[in-house]
């Protein structure tokens, strides 16, 4: 395609991609997840992902990979506190995800809706 740069071609492919989600907006197939999809999912919630969001998303994905479950808030906080020197608490998570940290982080991580979330 003459005249179109590579980044535009990539953007065009993403715009026509359709992903299956459940009624809550979580990916049906978590294997389709990648960082660009995380950004798109976050946009649907009005969130622009920053460094702290990625810390949480990666922790949620790691816990899910080990346990097969999305983590409850306490386990997520415990894992995050292992990863960084600054103490993390639920207020930190709610500043990132005001409408439900574990649910939204799980959604942006491409994982199912947590069973413990309403």
**pLDDT tens profile 66-101:** 999 999 999 999 999 999 888 999 999 999 999 999
Please tell me the pTM assigned to this model. 0.81
- Cα gap 118→109, rounded to integer Å: 18
Report, as residue numbers or ranges, the catalytic residues: 117
Say what the pLDDT of residue 24 is.
82
- Residue extents of the structural domains in the chain: 50-112
Q: Does 50-112 carry CATH code 1.10.10.370?
A: yes
Say what the pLDDT of residue 12 is.
52
Higher pLDDT, 112 or 13: 112
Phi-psi region of 15 (alpha: psi -120 to 50; beta: other; left: phi over 0): alpha
Rounded (10°) angle between helices 101-108 and 35-44? 140
């Amino acid at each position: 395609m003459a005249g179109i740069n590579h980044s535009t071609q990539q953007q065009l492919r993403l715009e026509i991609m359709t992903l299956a989600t459940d009624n809550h907006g979580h990916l049906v197939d978590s294997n389709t997840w990648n960082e660009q999809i995380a950004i798109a999912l976050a946009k649907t919630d009005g969130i622009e992902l920053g460094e702290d969001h990625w810390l949480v998303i990666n922790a949620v994905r790691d816990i899910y990979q080990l346990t097969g479950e999305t983590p409850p808030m306490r386990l997520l906080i415990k894992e995050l506190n292992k990863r960084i020197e600054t103490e993390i608490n639920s207020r930190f998570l709610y500043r990132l995800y005001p409408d439900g940290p574990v649910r939204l982080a799980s959604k942006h991580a491409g994982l199912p809706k947590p069973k413990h979330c309403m």
